[in-house]
Amino acid sequence: MPSGHAEDPTWQLRFPAREQYIARARVAFTSWLKERQDPEIPEISAETVDDAVLLLSELATNAVVHTRCLPDAELVCRATLAARETPAAALLRIEVHDHAEGDDRPQLKDSEAADESGRGLCIVAALAADWGVRPSTVTDGNAVWATLRLPRELPGELPAQ
């Protein structure tokens, strides 16, 4: 169930660690991003929403496909907005907490353009300002996270063409 109101800087969703639930997570996350009402963070552009949702989707898919977890395991997805990252940009941190066992830590792979899978973390690395893996404080597995800079227009300025 999603948490947070439009003015709340944190979003969280728990769902079964199965692929069919990732689409629901994308819908819930998109809604939260579009409903944001924070005076320090203007309306997030459609392109930035797409990038943020893609990051969440890739992190969640990676957790479902590549971790060995029990059938009743859940993923915990979180997103937090930090309005004061820099004067020119806010920061969105996206995390997916899994139930990976042992040394199941996500790693970038060398993949070819023709490969049908294995490029998820490459996409994350290309879109994110930064990303990484740490032990989860929510589950017994990993927290894989990525940050995305959200550009802010300064008052009275027109967006760059």
Domain ranges of the chain: 10-151
Is the per-residue pLDDT at 29 higher than 60?
yes
Please measure the distance between the N-terminal and C-terminal CA atoms of the chain and give it in whole angstroms.
Answer: 39
The pLDDT of 52-70, averaged and rounded, is 89
**At 118, is the pLDDT very low, low, confident or very high (cuts 50, 70, 90)?**
low
What local confidence, expressed as pLDDT, does residue 57 receive?
Answer: 96
Cβ atoms < 10 Å from Cβ of 15: 18
**At 143, is the pLDDT very low, low, confident or very high (cuts 50, 70, 90)?**
very high
C-alpha span between 158 and 23 (Å, rounded): 35
Question: What six digits make up the tokens of 72?
Answer: 């009743």
**At 16, is the pLDDT very low, low, confident or very high (cuts 50, 70, 90)?**
very high
The pLDDT of 62-77, averaged and rounded, is 85
With contact defined as beta carbons under 8 Å apart, do 123 and 54 qualify? yes
CATH superfamily of 10-151: Histidine kinase-like ATPase, C-terminal domain (3.30.565.10)
Q: What percent of the chain has pLDDT over 70?
A: 69
